[in-house]
Structure 1
Amino acid sequence: MGRTSVQIALIGLMVALAASLPNKDDWDIYSFHINSTVTSRYATTVITSRVANRMNESKEIQFHVRIPKNAFISKFRMFIDGQVYDGNVKEKEQAKRQYTAAVSRGESAGIVSSVGRTLEEFKTSVTISAHKKVTFELTYEELMKRTLGKYELQIHARPMQPVRDFKVDVHIQEKAGISFMDVKGGLSTNALANAITQILTDKQAWVYFYPTEDQQKACDSCSAQGLNGDLVIVYDVNRNSTLGDIMVSKGYFVHHFAPSNLTRIPKNVVFVIDRSGSMHGRKIQQTRAALIRILGDLAEGDHFGLITFDDGIYHWKQELVQATSENLQSAKTFAREITDRGGTDINRAVLEGTRMLNAHPREGSASILILLTDGDPTSGVTNIEQIHSNIRQAIAGKFPLYCLGFGYDVNFEFLEKMALQNNGVARRIYEDSDADIQLKGFYEEVATPLLTDVTMSYKGASNLTETIFSQYYNGSEIVVAGQIDDNNLDTFIPEAVAISATERRTFSKTSSPVETTDTLSENQIQRVWAYLTVKQLLQKELQMSGPEKEEVKKKTLELSLKYSFVTPHTSMVVTKPPGETTAVLHKPKEGKQASQGRLSRVFHSSHISYGAQRPLHHPGGRRKQAMYPASRPTAQLEDYVVDMLAGSPGGFLRTSHQPVVPLLQDVQILLRPTFEAATLAPRLHRFLIETNNSALPLCFDIAGHPFIKLLHHPSRELFVNGELNSVTSAVFKKIVIHFEADKHVEVDAKGVTVRVGENTTRLTGQDMITADSLTVITRSKEIDIAAGDTRMVIIVHEMAGEEFLWPVMRQKPSVTDLEGILALKPAGYEDVDGFPNGKKKIKDQEIAVTRTSTVDYSISPPEMIVCWLMAADSALQRPLNDFLVAQL
């Protein structure tokens, strides 16, 4: 709120350690990633932080995440000792009790809960066992709000130490087209500017922020503790004067209405300024400065009035006057002489401002009442409910009331309720050095009304979000969502009716046809509807009391639980079940997590089966001997698999029947000179399928070195195939993408070849090429590819000096005919007879399983994960041959 527009904050994960921390030697954040995807104004942000506890005892670490009140956390995951723990949204008190019980048992646990009613801060606390690593993955979603003609995506990074692997990735995709994009904030200047890469095409934009450890100490507010500042991505979309953009998917719609080329409506505005004793000092000084600047921005066609109050009322003029230069000069003189004294009679002051506006009706104008106060009512009428009733009756819906609460000790709930009851909003003004800029910034948001009495109507639709708006301001946007009856577009007729400066206008034509969108991820339109509905129910609940309030609260809670939104009524919690130790990890005893809108993640590990003894060799000359059976039936090879995670400090070597052996940085596995290649069994490549609850994932093996069908998107003519490596310990050696017949991308560990028609380009290092709806971006250890409505990132890993590839879906199309490994949806299974080991039931079929481990290569650096191994056909619920292709 301390900017000239409402900021869409995507605040990076901040680590704040109590008690014995901040001793950096106690803990280490060795990886910190923020990935934000903005598609059609809806932002999904994933924050991933990997932390190691260096102590010889368990340590509780608190993670603070500051996000805007308009955002909802929707997913929280922990990766501990190879086990994945998914968060579950629960009613707040229930979640808190469960977390407290887990911590008292000395178990690792995490909780995400809101702090305060405005959702300004979320917090997780996790107890990490001695010398263990934990990965935290936090996701939140937000419908971005347009303010002063732009959207702002703000990242505040303060990881408390320089991080070796620090990345911020932002991808924006807008069907309407991006009119401009810029990167601002303290993290974009001076020495850090070189760490930013920004790319803009017609409908897509990318921003990458990859500062080195030295650069993380170089910003103005940075120090030896690393980054501490903002990265702000600013953009807007193309617009015109029609009904706007309407996106439809699976029976839900979202309508963005922001017509341009409208004539400004003259306004009538009354400022009601608190001058009570509590405003003493900097508050009153900043209020005077802001008011003088605001008066200078009034247009000559505007009319205005000034009221100051303590336990009495003081007018500059008894009635509204025109904003002539003479009147403005006189008003500024009045503002300069405002001093603090006395009590706080809010009721009388707001009623007087209402009287002035009601006494000055002007056809073709828009009226606004703005209250600034820092305290509770202390004189006159002090009963809050009575004040609300008095003001609601006096305003009677004729104009909006905006309430600005100055400082942290203001009764913000009182102001927020009063504003909402009168078609306005409340805003907290933070008592910082730029408070006068905050005040002026809010005024600029409402300074230029373009439409009044806006009514949005949708024939053939139901379950609509708010459809009536008192005013539409320049640079803002109206958003409505709902359900289309019977999913029938033929009977769906949207329309907007409003009063402009000159006439009553009807908007009935969209800038693009109303059609099913293919640019949003699965169920995203439905999630936007749920997001808006929950947000507006929370506002409605604040205005009510008694049984009506409880009914709205119940509905809010139901939707929050259904869509896994962390709201003031819910928390997200992850715990280990009672009786378990940190060495034996099973799924939590929590209920199922909502899975709407989830993209399936598929992991892979390369496995080697040896028929002889092999030494583990370190370049320094030290050797460790690892013994494995010389023979083993092929059908049971998975029991003696070697998982390697080399080239990464803290990696480890594991077999299912041997203890974990720590690996040094450059450990290599060497074969005896007498070892013959012919003794190698067919190489097994292991894939994982994520589950749709907190259970262990499923895994299956593919033998040999076939070509894999990674993705086939028929309606987009998109084919993605990968070649597995059959000689080294690598995973994919090559990935090929065919798109729209004439576009081909071939990726290997050394670079990317792009062929468009007859033209061939080789990309290496930091490079980019775009052709129509195909964009390929290469950077260090990652290749970012966008093909129509599909986006994937190919990660380049390195193991023992060998580089290999692994693809990760970042945006999956919302269609039903996708095929391939990357198109797999989360799996679902049940324990047979309630016992976790031995067998699982999938779609009424009992399947033999083995508990084992593998490596998740979809993240960097990779991490070990536990899974249930079963036959490929059983895990896929289809013949494995359906996922193999004859050639790339």
Structure 2
Amino acid sequence: MERAVVQITLFGLLLALVTTLPNKDDWDIYSFHINSTVTARYSTTVITSRVVNRMEESKEIEFLVRIPKNAFISKFRMFIEGQVYDGIVKAKEQAQQQYTEAVSRGQSAGLVSSVGRTLEEFKTSVTVAAHKKVTFELTYEELLKRRLGKYELQIHARPMQPVKDFKVDVYIHDKAGISFIEVKGGLSTKALANAITKTHIGKQAWVHFYPTEDQQKTCDSCGKQGMNGDLVIVYDVNRDSSLGHIKKSDGYFVHHFAPSSLPRIPKNVVFVIDQSGSMHGRKIQQTRIALIHILNDLAEDDYFGLITFDGSVSHWRRELVQASNKNLNSAKKFAQGITDRGATDINEAVLEGARMLNAHPREGSASILILLTDGDPTSGVTILETIQSNVRKAIADKFPLYCLGFGFDVNFDFLKTMSLQNNGVARRIYEDSDADLQLKGFYKEVATPLLTDVTMIYMGGTNLTQTNFSQYYNGSEIVVAGQITDNDIETFTPQVLAISSNVTVESTETVSDGLIQRVWAYLTVKQLLEKELQLSEPEKEQVRKEAMELSLKYGFVTPLTSMVVTKPPGENTDVLHKPKEGEPPQRERILGHGQAAPGMFPMGAASGMGAASGMSEHLQCEQNIQLKINSIQLLFFSLFQMRHVCAYFSSVTVIKRNKEVDVAAGDVRIVILVHEKDGEKFLWPVLRQKPSDNNTEGILGGCVCSYVHLSSAVDYSFVSPTTLDCWLMSAESALQRALDDFIVAQL
């Protein structure tokens, strides 16, 4: 084959492998305990890790755990040689100032990072003297949400080495009585099943998980780094005709409302399905599978409509029709023929769905509008605020809008705000093999409405959380918390009003601890953060202030606060932030002068490549950086579209998994799939998330660049191929070796 210079653009890149896991042969986790207590469906979980440095010299020791995304970290502390070092929750601006000061002293600052659908990762480290010990203790809190008739407490165990003293203890107490309890998750199967003890007596339940060192090495989710998987405690409480359980304590109350034995309400539902070009391939296939399954679940007294859209709107029927066998079969044929094409006119599609529901009022029924999309609006009305305003006027609080955002390219904040403005919720659908199951799972949550226009009234109550709900669905739960005026229980009277029901809550219960107050604070902060998304900028400030004051008072790490992790003198100061929902796996770290963390390039201000250095027309590169993985030296090199080149990103994170390498730089995410044949490894790069700034162009990398120039290339990933300005370079320059060295006859 004739050697040729191959020009590599944005979508063709990159060789990279790095491991960020430290060598643990020289320090030992001798005890790892997870203790979770659930009272009033509010969980408080404490993770305690005790580690000893077995070396003859000081050693940096790492603490790495994963927690549920809906949880708030409320406490972190380290115990070193009799001293206690506590994390302090501060307003984000104050924490940022301390963070900046630490960076200016050459220290590093870390944060909590998102690691998938349901988990966030917390990581910090500290230097421990020879033969000394350190104890890490992290506490997080979460109000469990009832879905499909059950609560789930998720515990992730990832000690990164087998541990002699490993224990998970879960205690659940509920005055309503526990109806059932199960243990699921990857850590509950096969070799580890015998390590689980489950006890259930009336209003209490216990789960103990005590795997031996051998079990920690041999289970499905185990390896040299010990366990890495979930233990999921699934349970529900007894329901009765009282239509609710109210718990009171110290002037606060929490009302859990999940009535049983109510008849279902017929529904009117319109599905609005994105079939734009970006839905091509697996997305559209999985959508078709899920939609056909959902149509099968419609009851005969339901009415439904089906709209697809790209740059224009297509109807199966222009009006809602009854879910008869004949109509359902016709709709399934229509669904099977949905193909990707064209642009994305979200405004016109959602307005048409609202029109169809408004044109079909039915007394005693519940209307639902469901939007599925994977991208931003690109045709018709494209100003997001205008779309939100149009949709709000069209729906006029008559029914909820549920937005399902497919993948990471979608503007999830836009969908979340639009849903909240219309009494619905937004849910991200992850681009995994079970995306169709995620779609079907969401639909099941809203498939059976039992009540509409639910209003919770509390005479003698104040500082209430949300009290109006458009619909109540089978298997879910409405939770309201508040304060009892003057702590006068005698004047406190709850009542529930809803369409087809007008009931009074008779059952009240009292608990003796102060937990109810924290439930109220947790729920209030969550709802204030959602409310802030819906307000105009002048109105946001007061809501932010209220949420931040509560976060500081109760020690919650929220999007408005951060935790400054204090350490012994001379140690790095970590500042922990709450990541946004749906962020791809990444860890950002600003490096001090001359510092480089494993798997990260010194760049931006740290490497003297500031935004003012005039890089938009030419490129300067640092020296080669070669990183070791399993004795293989591979050059890390990435090409991205960036106008400001290396100053564009503050960090690059590289995570090695079994068969792939995940590279995150700012809002760009690339996955390099690892293919092995005859003992040789080959890499195949896949762009999973494009930069949010479509105007950026350029190149990023620690490289010796012998030949780079600004040119153009055609991007065939779009339905209508577009010509882009790109930085181009020869393969030899990128690979630092001849291209022929990377050619194989077959894979």
Q: Does 1:480 align with 2:474?
A: no
In structure 1, C-alpha distance between the alignment counterparts of 2:390 and 2:570, rounded to whole Å:
60
In structure 2, C-alpha distance between the alignment counterparts of 1:238 and 1:32, rounded to whole Å:
34
Report the counterpart of residue 836 of structure 1 in structure 2: none
Q: Does the aligned pair in 1 maintain the 2:34–2:48 contact within 8 Å?
A: yes
In structure 2, C-alpha distance between the alignment counterparts of 1:118 and 1:74, rounded to whole Å:
22
Report the counterpart of residue 43 of structure 1 in structure 2: 43
Q: Does the aligned pair in 1 maintain the 2:372–2:406 contact within 8 Å?
A: yes
Shift of residue 54, structure 1, vs aligned partner: 5.4
Which runs of no fewer than 5 residues in structure 1 stay unpaired? 1-16, 583-587, 591-888
Shift of residue 153, structure 1, vs aligned partner: 1.0
Q: Which has the larger radius of gyration?
A: 1
Q: Does 1:574 align with 2:565?
A: yes
Q: Does the aligned pair in 1 maintain the 2:239–2:259 contact within 8 Å?
A: yes
Q: Does the aligned pair in 2 maintain the 1:53–1:128 contact within 8 Å?
A: no
Q: Give, as a single letter, the amino acid of the residue that structure 1 aligns with 2:530.
A: Q
Q: Does the aligned pair in 2 maintain the 1:114–1:566 contact within 8 Å?
A: no
Q: Does the aligned pair in 2 maintain the 1:351–1:394 contact within 8 Å?
A: yes
Q: Does the aligned pair in 1 maintain the 2:79–2:85 contact within 8 Å?
A: yes
Q: Give, as a single letter, the amino acid of the residue that structure 1 aligns with 2:122.
A: K
In structure 2, C-alpha distance between the alignment counterparts of 1:323 and 1:247, rounded to whole Å:
42
Q: Does the aligned pair in 2 maintain the 1:397–1:422 contact within 8 Å?
A: yes
**Percent identical across equivalent pairs?**
73
Q: Does the aligned pair in 2 maintain the 1:161–1:224 contact within 8 Å?
A: yes
Q: Give, as a single letter, the amino acid of the residue that structure 2 aligns with 1:554.
A: K
Candidates 537, 551, 555, aligned match of 1:560? 551
Q: Give, as a single letter, the amino acid of the residue that structure 1 aligns with 2:62.
A: I
In structure 1, C-alpha distance between the alignment counterparts of 2:404 and 2:66, rounded to whole Å:
25
Q: Does 1:125 align with 2:116?
A: no
Candidates 505, 508, 512, aligned match of 2:504? 508
Report the counterpart of residue 412 of structure 1 in structure 2: 412
In structure 1, C-alpha distance between the alignment counterparts of 2:527 and 2:20, rounded to whole Å:
43
Mean Cα displacement is larger for which, 413-422 or 17-26? 17-26
Q: Give, as a single letter, the amino acid of the residue that structure 1 aligns with 2:125.
A: V
Report the counterpart of residue 157 of structure 2 in structure 1: 157
For each residue in 1:54-73, what CA deviation from the matched residue of structure 2 results, as whole angstroms up to 9, or x when unmatched? 5645536362533122x211
Mean Cα displacement is larger for which, 543-552 or 559-568? 543-552
Candidates 516, 524, 527, aligned match of 1:533? 524
Shift of residue 232, structure 1, vs aligned partner: 1.2
SS at 1:464 equivalent: coil
Report the counterpart of residue 740 of structure 1 in structure 2: none
In structure 1, C-alpha distance between the alignment counterparts of 2:315 and 2:75, rounded to whole Å:
52
Matches within 5 A, 1:180-329: 180-329=180-329
Report the counterpart of residue 363 of structure 1 in structure 2: 363
Q: Give, as a single letter, the amino acid of the residue that structure 1 aligns with 2:540.
A: K
Q: Does the aligned pair in 2 maintain the 1:273–1:308 contact within 8 Å?
A: yes
Q: 1:442–1:146: structure 2 CA closer, same or farther, 3 Å change rule? A: same
Report the counterpart of residue 549 of structure 1 in structure 2: 540
Matches within 5 A, 1:489-888: 489-500=489-500, 505-510=501-506, 512=507, 514-518=508-512, 521=513, 523-576=514-567, 580=569
Shift of residue 242, structure 1, vs aligned partner: 1.8
Equivalent pairs, count:
555
For each residue in 1:560-611, what CA deviation from the matched residue of structure 2 results, as whole angstroms up to 9, or x when unmatched? 001101100111112247xx468xxxxx9x9xxxxxxxxxxxxxxxxxxxxx
SS at 1:87 equivalent: strand
SS at 1:445 equivalent: helix
Mean Cα displacement is larger for which, 357-366 or 242-251? 242-251
Shift of residue 85, structure 1, vs aligned partner: 1.2
In structure 2, C-alpha distance between the alignment counterparts of 1:216 and 1:191, rounded to whole Å:
9
For each residue in 1:186-212, what CA deviation from the matched residue of structure 2 results, as whole angstroms up to 9, or x when unmatched? 211111100000001011100001111
Q: Give, as a single letter, the amino acid of the residue that structure 1 aligns with 2:60.
A: K
Shift of residue 158, structure 1, vs aligned partner: 2.3
Report the counterpart of residue 464 of structure 2 in structure 1: 464
Q: 1:177–1:186: structure 2 CA closer, same or farther, 3 Å change rule? A: same
Q: 1:274–1:191: structure 2 CA closer, same or farther, 3 Å change rule? A: same
Q: Does the aligned pair in 2 maintain the 1:34–1:168 contact within 8 Å?
A: yes
In structure 2, C-alpha distance between the alignment counterparts of 1:119 and 1:386, rounded to whole Å:
32
SS at 2:154 equivalent: strand
Report the counterpart of residue 672 of structure 2 in structure 1: none
Mean Cα displacement is larger for which, 332-341 or 97-106? 97-106
Q: Does the aligned pair in 2 maintain the 1:272–1:308 contact within 8 Å?
A: yes
Q: 1:531–1:575: structure 2 CA closer, same or farther, 3 Å change rule? A: same
Report the counterpart of residue 798 of structure 1 in structure 2: none
Q: 1:494–1:175: structure 2 CA closer, same or farther, 3 Å change rule? A: same
Shift of residue 124, structure 1, vs aligned partner: 3.3
In structure 1, C-alpha distance between the alignment counterparts of 2:519 and 2:411, rounded to whole Å:
31
Q: Does the aligned pair in 2 maintain the 1:116–1:568 contact within 8 Å?
A: no
In structure 1, C-alpha distance between the alignment counterparts of 2:127 and 2:104, rounded to whole Å:
13
For each residue in 1:107-155, what CA deviation from the matched residue of structure 2 results, as whole angstroms up to 9, or x when unmatched? 8x98665669999525332232453532211111111111111111122
Q: Does the aligned pair in 2 maintain the 1:248–1:525 contact within 8 Å?
A: yes
For each residue in 1:378-416, what CA deviation from the matched residue of structure 2 results, as whole angstroms up to 9, or x when unmatched? 111110000110000000000000000111221110000
Report the counterpart of residue 64 of structure 2 in structure 1: 63
Q: TM-score normalized by structure 2?
A: 0.71
Q: Does the aligned pair in 2 maintain the 1:99–1:574 contact within 8 Å?
A: no
Report the counterpart of residue 76 of structure 2 in structure 1: 76
Q: Give, as a single letter, the amino acid of the residue that structure 2 aligns with 1:25.
A: D
Shift of residue 554, structure 1, vs aligned partner: 1.1
Report the counterpart of residue 374 of structure 2 in structure 1: 374
Q: 1:54–1:290: structure 2 CA closer, same or farther, 3 Å change rule? A: farther
Shift of residue 260, structure 1, vs aligned partner: 0.9
Report the counterpart of residue 759 of structure 1 in structure 2: none
Report the counterpart of residue 85 of structure 1 in structure 2: 85
Q: 1:286–1:229: structure 2 CA closer, same or farther, 3 Å change rule? A: same
For each residue in 1:620-661, what CA deviation from the matched residue of structure 2 results, as whole angstroms up to 9, or x when unmatched? xxxxxxxxxxxxxxxxxxxxxxxxxxxxxxxxxxxxxxxxxx
Shift of residue 82, structure 1, vs aligned partner: 1.8
In structure 2, C-alpha distance between the alignment counterparts of 1:413 and 1:385, rounded to whole Å:
12
Q: Does the aligned pair in 2 maintain the 1:196–1:209 contact within 8 Å?
A: yes
Mean Cα displacement is larger for which, 84-93 or 96-105? 96-105
Q: Give, as a single letter, the amino acid of the residue that structure 2 aligns with 1:555.
A: E
In structure 2, C-alpha distance between the alignment counterparts of 1:392 and 1:20, rounded to whole Å:
47
Q: 1:119–1:211: structure 2 CA closer, same or farther, 3 Å change rule? A: closer
Q: Does the aligned pair in 2 maintain the 1:54–1:130 contact within 8 Å?
A: no
SS at 2:222 equivalent: coil
Q: Does the aligned pair in 2 maintain the 1:268–1:302 contact within 8 Å?
A: yes
In structure 1, C-alpha distance between the alignment counterparts of 2:146 and 2:218, rounded to whole Å:
32
SS at 2:146 equivalent: coil
Shift of residue 369, structure 1, vs aligned partner: 0.4
Q: TM-score normalized by structure 1?
A: 0.60
Q: 1:192–1:110: structure 2 CA closer, same or farther, 3 Å change rule? A: farther
Q: Give, as a single letter, the amino acid of the residue that structure 1 aligns with 2:373.
A: T
